[in-house]
Structure 1
Amino acid sequence: MDDSTARPTRRRGEALERAILDAAVAELTGSGYAGLTMDRVAARAGTNKNAIYRRWPNRAALGVAAYERLVEADLRLPDTGELRADVLALLRQINCDLASPRAEVLRGLLAAVGDEPELLAQVQAQLGDGGAGRWLTLLGRAVARGEIRPEALHPRAATTALVLLRNECVTRGISTVPDGVLVEIVDEVYLPLLRGRGVVRG
């Protein structure tokens, strides 16, 4: 038996689910979505395919769940106590992540959606809010501190900095954006936009 497999172990509930997701993450980062199979994940997790199918009905659902686990494990929401610093920290984190193995996993998922309708539905469900949840949480903290008014908590406004970052990558054909551009996005566009929706101070 090679290092990528494990002997079946009696686990249940959250422990088994974690083991399956950890195995799926390892397969995704090692072989990409194209190499992800229920057999390989079951072998690596030390379980059987039935245990996987009871939780995820198909390979697409498992692949997206594994990607979500990657995001949760590696992306930490900044909490510096100040809106501008939080925004810059999150934007810098995302900018660095664009060239990471996780970004390669996402590109692999997106590349496969044309051949798998189930995968398209799963990816759309996972990315449906355009990442707004993370940004709204960050802005919600600023509201609680009195830096901005609740009127600034709009999903499209919240993700404007992220959209501009992605636009820079697409239009310039680059994987990461210079830090000076990130500062411009925050100071010249994002914060003024939030002020236009009712900043109290700053």
Structure 2
Amino acid sequence: MSLKEGSRRRGQELEDAILDAAWAVLDEHGYSGFTFEAIAARAGTSRPVLYRRWPQRTDLLLATLTKFWAGQPIPLPDTGNLREDAITLLRRAGVGRARMITLLGTQLMDYFRETGTSFSDLREQLLPADRRRGGFETILARAVERGEVPDVPRSARVVNLPFDLVRHDMLMTLRPVPDESIIEIVDEVWLPLIR
């Protein structure tokens, strides 16, 4: 057996190398540059190897996003206090997701145009049903159980407003949201709405 054959990547090692290369290509060139040729070259493999695993470019894109976005949930805080949980969750989202949200929002525009879908559709497709419930729904449900806020109907838009505002700020500035803005969103906008 030659050295080349002995060092050939297979299985999970090869798949990880391809998905890492795909992520790098998406980050650098967007969906328009997200081609089998570019990804195979970056991964040091051939296009047929990619086609065997992912017959369509969108299949490879979804696998890449599953690994780098959907596969990395933000840990939910449970401090015993709604305000602290909300601020902590937004801080974690800012640290862990600012770059990701910017990338998804800007680099996937061609994908959304081509498929006629939206970021919301993509989220539904990638996240398992048990993770579609937003973090704010969970921390609010815990606060209701503790008797911290009344158990009244609230629209999903109101419940998830803090993350929507933070995501908007990230997309508008292409930076993580400053801590003072996070506190303002929670204290001056969200908590008065849900109490």
TM-score calculated relative to the size of structure 1: 0.63
Q: Could you tell me which residue of structure 2 aligns to residue 89 of structure 1?
A: 88
Query: Which stretch shifts more, 146-155 or 81-90?
Result: 146-155
Name the CA shift for 1:51/1:181 in 2 (closer, same or farther; >3 Å). same
Q: Percent identity?
A: 35
Partners of 2:27 and 2:163 in 1: how far apart? 24
Q: Could you tell me which residue of structure 2 aligns to residue 106 of structure 1?
A: 105
Partners of 2:25 and 2:19 in 1: how far apart? 10
Name the CA shift for 1:88/1:17 in 2 (closer, same or farther; >3 Å). same
Aligned to 1:100, the other structure's residue is in SS state helix
Given the alignment of the two structures, is residue 194 of structure 1 paired with residue 194 of structure 2, yes or no?
Answer: yes
Q: Which has the higher helix share?
A: 2
Given the alignment of the two structures, is residue 184 of structure 1 paired with residue 180 of structure 2, yes or no?
Answer: no
Q: In the TM superposition, what is the alpha-carbon distance from 1:186 to its structure 2 partner? A: 0.4
Whether contact under 8 Å (1:136, 1:153) holds in the other structure is no
1:94-173 maps to which residues of 2 (within 5 A)?
94-96=93-95, 100=99, 103-114=102-113, 116-117=114-115, 120-121=116-117, 123-128=119-124, 133-143=134-144, 147-148=148-149, 151=152, 154-168=155-169
Structure with more relative contact order (C-alpha pairs < 8 Å, separation 6 or more) = 2
Q: Deviations over 1:126-170 (max 9, x none)?
A: 2359x7534334444545655456656753232111223345567
Q: In the TM superposition, what is the alpha-carbon distance from 1:37 to its structure 2 partner? A: 1.5
Q: Deviations over 1:71-120 (max 9, x none)?
A: 24665223242332221122234345675266234311025533x22xx4
Name the CA shift for 1:141/1:27 in 2 (closer, same or farther; >3 Å). farther
Partners of 1:145 and 1:138 in 2: how far apart? 11
Q: In the TM superposition, what is the alpha-carbon distance from 1:64 to its structure 2 partner? A: 4.0
Aligned to 1:121, the other structure's residue is in SS state coil
The letter for the 1-side match of 2:109 is L
Partners of 1:140 and 1:50 in 2: how far apart? 49
TM-score calculated relative to the size of structure 2: 0.65
Could you tell me which of 18, 21, 24 is aligned with 2:22?
24
Q: Could you tell me which residue of structure 1 aligns to residue 129 of structure 2?
A: none
Q: In the TM superposition, what is the alpha-carbon distance from 1:189 to its structure 2 partner? A: 2.2
Partners of 2:150 and 2:55 in 1: how far apart? 43
Whether contact under 8 Å (1:61, 1:122) holds in the other structure is no
